Amino acid sequence: MNDEPPRAAGRTARTALTAAPALLVTALIVTGCGGGHKGASAGASPAGGKEKLPEATTYTTLDDLPRDEAPSAKSDGTVVHPNDAVPVSAKPGAPAVAELPSTQLKGPTWVPVVESRPGWRRVLLPSRPNGVTGWIPDSGLKSARSSSAVKVDLGDKKLTLSQGGRQVGSWSVAIGAPKTPTPTGRTFMLASLAPAKPTFSPLVLPVGAHSATLDTFGGGPGTVAFHGWPSKSVFGKAVTHGCVRVPADALNKLAKVPLGTPVQITD
């Protein structure tokens, strides 16, 4: 538990993510929090009749796994990274219905732990539906603890960043419009994308949640993200497709937050 997971825009994560295909980066940025195709659902069978487990990524829908029963609960910051793909089950010891890959969006997979039992970890997953969880074996995991916590208060349109229980910043932000709201609940810092030719933001920081109202928008998977915006006039308003637009200072600080760090979004 002494190691800290990679920071969202640290050298390791950013090097890998900058090399991501331009189409993927563009899709996530253009959707800004919009939609895209829905990936395979749990239990889908490929051609040839052999069942293949779907990957638990931002592109997949996993309907055969339990939802987070305590979306407002605080996490202790424990996060895990699978060295290789690991099976995901609905209960400890149950048959696997998906697998969690070791990488997400060209960067390492770090997910927060919400419950532990001997030999097992229950983790939040980056797939649809929002709040989906799964049990993974404790073996073959790298474990760490993030001292950071991110909170978005949709009512006040405020983002707060804390480290070690101490607030280090609070900013007015733009949130989802009434018809395309920012989803509530607990999620986590999923990845960091640095577009080669940035338009409205030098970084896009996806989280493990999706728009609840947009399934297709710009070709992306509907992943919600933190990103910057060139005009300060949007801050304090509900005007986005579901993403959270943040000031430059907030984006710079969020870029240093370790992957897997819990993100709490409240009404």
Query: Hey, which residues are catalytic here?
Result: 227, 243
Cα distances from 72 to residues 60, 151, 154, 265, 266, in angstroms, run: 24, 11, 14, 8, 8
Element (H, E) at 254: helix 248-254
Cα Rg for the chain, rounded, in angstroms? 17
CB 142 within 8 A of CB 121: no
235-262 exposure pattern, b = at least 16 Cβ within 10 A, e = fewer? beebbbbbbbbbbeebbebbbebbbbbb
> Contact, 169 vs 250, CB < 8 A?
yes
Residue with tokens 């009749």: 49
Contact by Cβ (8 Å): 183, 224? yes
β-bridge pairing 86-89 and 96-100: antiparallel
Question: What whole-number distance in Å separates Cα of residue 191 and Cα of residue 6?
Answer: 10
- Closest C-alpha among 85, 21, 92, 94 to residue 52: 85
Residue 88: beta bridge partners?
98
